[in-house]
């Protein structure tokens, strides 16, 4: 399996290791870009080079292309090698370790992304199920998928397709990335479903999501209206504290973050299908401050509202041209 293709191999200690802060949080530098990245990393864990246990602020899928290393996740250790896959959510602390003092370098392909890459900032319907593996890997299912499953080649193919779409400057390329990413996540869901513990966890998450059904239904019709956490909790017949914990458990986001994402999705539809001024779109989507709307929109989509509208218009014109 030859992974890099037209990609460039780079030293992990010069790119990844320096992103780990004193609080052991690994912050991926997405910046204002669309929050997905593919890197081809060379890990040199020999000569006493050891990184601390760290927790990513994003979601990661790592495929080993060559070499062999020790791997530690929370309080468990194992060895990982060619075609093994590591799946890491934002709740697990992990690191790679040398097996010997003269450890040879290892190479891996790393797909990093934020949940909003999958669901445009606000998960609805099937979006929850695509992200479920990250709540069970490392908890009830080992987060190292062995090479013998044969998943590495299938997943790597989609990762390569994602890489070719980066930096995702058009709506078409972002749609392609979401589609390829969902194919990867579907493969992980299928793998998890082989474990009875994971199936039980999935059922429990579905039950929790049902408890939040009243607020999801309310947002469908009233997303443009002010709503506080206390209002949402009352709709779900739970205390605000219970609601916040339950909402975070189900969506992986705070209620405010989810609400902003949901409103941005609605704003995208208005920008693409109507000539309404951006200030009006902002209000109709539920944002009372246009400046704040612009900041949230760019953070979630990678472009400004105006740039998004122009991209949609350009895509329509291209589609209308004879071939």
Give percent of the chain with pLDDT exceeding 70. 91
Q: How confident is the model at residue 5, as a pLDDT? A: 54
Whether residues 259 and 190 fall in one domain: no
Answer whether residue 203 is part of any domain: no
Q: How confident is the model at residue 52, as a pLDDT? A: 86
State yes or no: pLDDT of 229 exceeds 60.
yes
Instruction: Indicate which CATH number applies to the domain containing 252.
Output: 1.10.10.60
- The count of domains in the chain is 2
Q: What is the CA radius of gyration of the chain?
A: 21
pLDDT tens digits, one per residue of 134-182: 888 888 899 999 999 999 999 999 999 999 999 888 878 989 999 999 9
Average pLDDT over all residues of the chain: 88
Domain boundary among the residues 165, 198, 231 is at 198
Q: How confident is the model at residue 2, as a pLDDT? A: 47
Is 245 or 22 the better-scoring residue by pLDDT? 245
pLDDT tier, 1 (very low <50, low <70, confident <90, very high otherwise): very low
Domain boundary among the residues 148, 171, 198 is at 198
Closest C-alpha to 135, from 63, 201, 180: 201
Q: How confident is the model at residue 321, as a pLDDT? A: 57
Token reading at 315: 């895509």
Answer whether residue 55 is part of any domain: yes
Whether residues 176 and 286 fall in one domain: no
Answer whether residue 322 is part of any domain: no
Whether residues 270 and 307 fall in one domain: yes
Whether residues 300 and 161 fall in one domain: no
The mean pLDDT value for 288-301 works out to: 90
Whether residues 132 and 171 fall in one domain: yes
Question: What angle, rounded to 10 degrees, do the helices at 196-211 and 240-251 form?
Answer: 130
Q: How confident is the model at residue 215, as a pLDDT? A: 95
Place of tokens 């996540």: 185
The whole-angstrom separation of Cα 237 and Cα 243 is 9
Q: How confident is the model at residue 109, as a pLDDT? A: 97
Q: How confident is the model at residue 322, as a pLDDT? A: 55
Whether residues 35 and 169 fall in one domain: yes
Place of tokens 């593996």: 133
pLDDT tens digits, one per residue of 202-218: 888 888 889 999 999 99
Whether residues 49 and 106 fall in one domain: yes
Instruction: Indicate which CATH number applies to the domain containing 164.
Output: 2.60.120.280
DSSP H or E stretch at residue 199? helix 196-211
**Domain extent at residue 253:** 212-314
Domain boundary among the residues 147, 168, 198 is at 198
pLDDT tens digits, one per residue of 61-105: 999 999 999 999 998 999 999 999 999 998 899 998 888 765 678
Whether residues 44 and 178 fall in one domain: yes
Token reading at 167: 């930096």
Answer whether residue 110 is part of any domain: yes
Q: How confident is the model at residue 115, as a pLDDT? A: 86
The whole-angstrom separation of Cα 54 and Cα 200 is 28
Is 77 or 4 the better-scoring residue by pLDDT? 77
Whether residues 279 and 141 fall in one domain: no
Whether residues 281 and 143 fall in one domain: no
pLDDT tens digits, one per residue of 119-133: 766 677 778 889 889
**Is the Cβ–Cβ distance between 198 and 141 less than 8 Å?**
yes
The whole-angstrom separation of Cα 121 and Cα 115 is 7
Whether residues 45 and 156 fall in one domain: yes
pLDDT tier, 6 (very low <50, low <70, confident <90, very high otherwise): low
The whole-angstrom separation of Cα 189 and Cα 73 is 21
Q: How confident is the model at residue 101, as a pLDDT? A: 61
Is 117 or 87 the better-scoring residue by pLDDT? 87
């Amino acid at each position: 399996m030859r992974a890099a293709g037209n990609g460039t191999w780079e030293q992990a200690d010069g790119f990844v290791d320096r992103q780990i802060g004193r609080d052991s949080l690994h912050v991926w530098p997405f910046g204002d870009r669309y929050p997905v990245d593919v890197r081809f990393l060379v890990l040199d864990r020999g000569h006493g080079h050891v990184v601390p246990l760290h927790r990513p602020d994003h979601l990661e899928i790592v495929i080993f292309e060559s070499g062999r290393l020790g791997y530690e996740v929370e309080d468990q250790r194992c060895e990982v090698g060619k075609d093994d896959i590591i799946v890491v959510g934002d709740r697990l602390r992990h690191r790679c370790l040398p097996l010997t003092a003269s450890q040879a370098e290892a190479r891996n392909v790393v797909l990093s992304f934020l949940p909003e890459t999958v669901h445009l900032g606000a998960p609805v319907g099937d979006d929850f199920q695509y992200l479920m593996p990250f709540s069970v890997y490392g908890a009830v299912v080992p987060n190292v998928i062995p090479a013998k499953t044969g998943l590495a080649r299938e997943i790597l193919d989609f990762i390569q397709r994602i890489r070719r779409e980066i930096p995702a400057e058009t709506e078409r390329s972002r749609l392609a990335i979401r589609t390829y990413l969902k194919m990867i996540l579907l493969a992980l869901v299928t793998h998890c479903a082989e474990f009875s513990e994971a199936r039980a966890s999935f059922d429990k998450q579905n039950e929790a999501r049902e408890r939040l059904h009243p607020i999801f239904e309310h947002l469908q019709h009233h997303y443009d209206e002010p709503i506080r956490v206390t209002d949402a909790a009352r709709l779900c017949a739970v205390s605000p504290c219970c609601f916040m914990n339950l909402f975070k458990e189900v969506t992986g986001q705070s209620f405010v973050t989810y609400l902003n994402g949901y409103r941005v999705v609605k704003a995208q539809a208005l920008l693409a299908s109507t000539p309404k001024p951006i200030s009006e779109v902002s209000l109709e989507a539920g944002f009372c401050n246009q400046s704040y709307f612009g900041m949230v929109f760019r953070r979630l989509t990678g472009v400004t509202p105006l740039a998004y509208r122009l991209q949609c218009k350009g895509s329509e014109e291209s589609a209308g041209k004879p071939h």
